[in-house]
Amino acid sequence: MRRIALAMLALVALLALAVTRARADDDDDDKRPAAPRDDLADYDPTSRAWNGLTAFVGMASGAGYEVAPVATLEWGELDRDDILILMYPLERVDPSRLSAFLEAGGSALIADDFGLAKDAIARLGFIRAEVGTPQATTYWRDRSYAPIATTIAPHAITQGVDRVVTNHPAVLTHVEGATAVVSFGGGEALIVAGERGFGRFALVSDPSIFINRMLQFPGNFAVASNLLRWLGRGHAQRVVLVRGDVPMYGDPRPFIDDAGAGSLGRAMGDINRWLEGGNEWLLTPSAMKAIAGALAFLLIGAALLAMPAWKRGAVSGEWLRFARPAAGDDIAHAVARADRGDSNYRVAAAVLRDAVSAAIAGAIDVRDPLYALDRPALIDRVTTACGADAGRALTILYTRLRELPTRGQATAAYGGLHVSRHEFDRLYDDAATLYRTLGQEPLP
């Protein structure tokens, strides 16, 4: 019996030694449980445990910031000299309040993977995807839960940073209107930086990069320090830390006035808040359909009211037509303009040529006869249709009519041809003779 007892004691000792060694090997690996986090030390700013934030608080304090963990967040008490940090919030972050805080000039770091900041992240224009394993190219010690993200864009946040080690991260996708500065690859970002209104924001899809154990990695420490510096913009004095189930109340102050933004800044802030409100309340499918229907009804009503009462029956379109001025009126107008201008009558001559062409077309039923027929054929057709006198009158005019520019060319600055008043009067007299022989109404 004594031998059996000794053997059992030896076996227990060996098992205890094996468990101790396994725990020692895994201390550097399992930095937080994969199950939902219910440990009170998670992101505790006073905890020195591996998953606490004392290292982050110490770094921020050393950089000159007052770190203020809050049990409740009153949005109206935030100041433009504050950096708001939402660290794995377990109370819903109101998207409109966060947007209003940023637009007024605030700075915010939203570090969340599986918490309740998802709606606020979506309002900023991104999608937080809770993936199993990001598409990373390397993993810390080949652990699938510890993918390594790398710098992909030069930015103040990535100075001195080549890679960031993560722990069970989510990812940010569909990044538009901001800059993805650290990413796993394949369009899956870890850190995104951007501006909204007068403020700045940074999104981090793995808050665990800020815990004590993870800040031991040089890249993690450097990126955390750079984030505070970039968000602080040289004037921030306090870090307001919200973590876990912290209730949030009130509305942000429009403290862009404190920044000396002036009337322009206030106006821009009002516009941003109005647009934000519209986005919050109007941009839903049912509301947009209702608005589109109402607008269509109003437009139809306005069109009916604008239509003349006597035309609300059969609409022929006659009331839309306009009468073209008579040829004589066109010529008189062109002559009057030449009399007031540089005494070049080429425009009046071109108008006269068009009138003569229309008269000939009516006589022989050929459209644009001066160019549709050659000289002998045209004169022969006019002689046959209207007599020898008409043929002789056209013969006298033909060459001068063909040399005239079109109306468009005549009105252009580069028209070139100069027609004096004497030349125009001769052309007009000959045209009047042709009109008379064609049986047309005489020119005025």
Q: Which CATH architecture has domain 33-260?
A: 3-Layer(aba) Sandwich (3.40)
pLDDT along the chain (444 residues), means of 10: 47 43 42 42 89 94 94 92 94 92 92 88 77 81 91 93 93 83 89 91 94 95 96 93 92 63 52 50 55 79 67 47 47 66 78 86 85 87 89 88 78 69 86 84 66
User: CB-based burial of residue 84 (10 Å sphere; 0-12 exposed, 13-18 middle, 19+ buried)?
Assistant: buried
Q: What is the pLDDT of residue 75?
A: 94
Q: What is the pLDDT of residue 204?
A: 95
User: pTM for this one?
Assistant: 0.53
User: CB-based burial of residue 246 (10 Å sphere; 0-12 exposed, 13-18 middle, 19+ buried)?
Assistant: middle
Beta bridge partners of 204: 111, 191
Domain ranges of the chain: 33-260, 327-437
First to last CA, the chain: 144
148-151 and 163-165 beta bridge pairing: antiparallel
Q: What is the pLDDT of residue 20?
A: 42
